[in-house]
Amino acid sequence: DIQMTQSPSTLSASVGDRVTITCRASQSISSWLAWYQQKPGQAPDLLIYKASNLESGVPSRFSGSGSGTEFTLTISSLQPDDFATYFCQQYHSYPHTFGQGTKLDIQ
Amino acid sequence: QVQLLESGPGLIKPSETLSLTCTVSGGSVSNYYWSWIRQPAGKGLEWIGRIFIRGSTNYNPSLKGRVTMSVDTSKNQFSLRLSSVTAADTAVYYCARGTSGWDVFGGQGTLVTVSS
């Protein structure tokens, strides 16, 4: 299986900050990576697919980049609604695997 | 917009078989891949597997052959069966619409607790 490792596990930030979350794959996955946001008690919401494509309806302050084994999710200016947990997922090969998550909380 | 609703028993005994159903509205079950993903309380997401209408499936080998997925086009539903459950299978189970690769969650998930 392809292992996905996110860093950091927890991130404290303030409204208006620019934040970056990193996801590393144990082998090359080309651009076959998605990012999700999950709030407590809710299902994850898709933010980004194919590493850098913004899902319809997702604010433009979210962006994704990377290819191969290293990827980043950037939020350009944090809003109160963005404090949540973020997961990456590779879909290069089965089984599709997720990172362990990054919890973004208010500093 | 495709919406999904998971249903099934909230409590199941060890060694029994878990059966969950996902009802699809706003779209046809014949048109997509369908996935199951689970999340133990306070933990990360585990991809269980995926099924396509033509019957092709991909399961997570970590579940050691305990998983079976199926599609019922007459009811616009798809299902998950997980046999020989243990406490380690306690989790919130999500169904999702599969695309070319990534998953789109459409329901709220259903909590399944394995306990005697």
**Tens-digit pLDDT profile for residues B36-45:** 999 999 999 9
Residues of B in contact with A25 (CB under 8 A): none
The single residue listed with the structure tokens 């404090």 is A83
Is B54 a residue whose pLDDT tops 80?
A: no
Structure-token pair, residue B57: 């499936």
Query: Which B residues 73-112 touch A at CB under 8 Å?
Result: 94, 99, 101-109
- How far is the C-alpha of A64 from the C-alpha of B4, rounded, in Å? 27
Contacts of B45 in chain A (CB under 8 A): 44, 87, 89, 98, 101
pLDDT in tens, A4-35: 999 999 999 999 999 999 999 999 999 999 99
Three-state secondary structure along B73-105? CCCCEEEEEECCCCHHHCEEEEEEEECCCCEEE
**Both structure tokens of B74:** 């007459």
Q: Residue A24 is which amino acid? A: R
- Sign of the CA dihedral running A13, B41, A64, A28: positive
Q: CB atoms < 10 A from the CB of A104, how many?
A: 20
